[in-house]
Structure 1
């Protein structure tokens, strides 16, 4: 039976769970193939385990894993999006994960989000630009990624 495009749920979950680890491992493997670096060294699971951060998982109504995403505190009023991943087998999941994260970001008291991806990840860059993110200068001092592409979006005024 085929599920409709919106027949899934996104909710906060434990980033240390086996399901979360499986999704993040898939993301890391995909990024390693794309850029030679899976990005694990730039993600601290503990950073998303508080009221000022979150880890979210998207699942079908039958519990099948579809994707994940997280945010953490970056600075006063600013959250950083991390580890956003959607399996390619269901349309609309990536956008829904991003929207759920943005809603949680506003509920946590942030007004702006930032994120970093790699220049070689053209699909991610197009996705963020399509969803209202604007390129910015690198926001992380001393970043070890010469090919980092950074984006930001102000969320004041979105429906939380």
Structure 2
């Protein structure tokens, strides 16, 4: 509740008072930090989390991409994929954002291929993001 209201101080107080934190509560705090653009606080929490899942990793990749830390988002994505935790549509949406803004089109092409291989191309958000990335690539080549 505090996180959704933008009160990260009260959210953190409640989080710190919890006698038993689990993956769900950590992911909620992580999400609150990233939604508020508090990437450094999110990264500190993420690094201390004893267990991380697909939600934790997606939150960090998307959070870093949204505030413009594209290289860190790409680094996190690569580490996440190496761990073979799994992935979902959000995993690809986050990395496409991180590739398109700084115009890293070689990685965009790789992600596009991964989306096709795993069968997520029917996801309208992913497909739209890929089309946007391909249009930007085409625009850059025309210049």
Q: For this structure pair, what is the TM-score category when the shorter chain's length is used for normalisation? A: 0.3 to 0.5
What TM-score does the superposition give when structure 2 sets the normalisation length? 0.35
Higher strand residue share:
1
Structure number with bigger Rg: 2
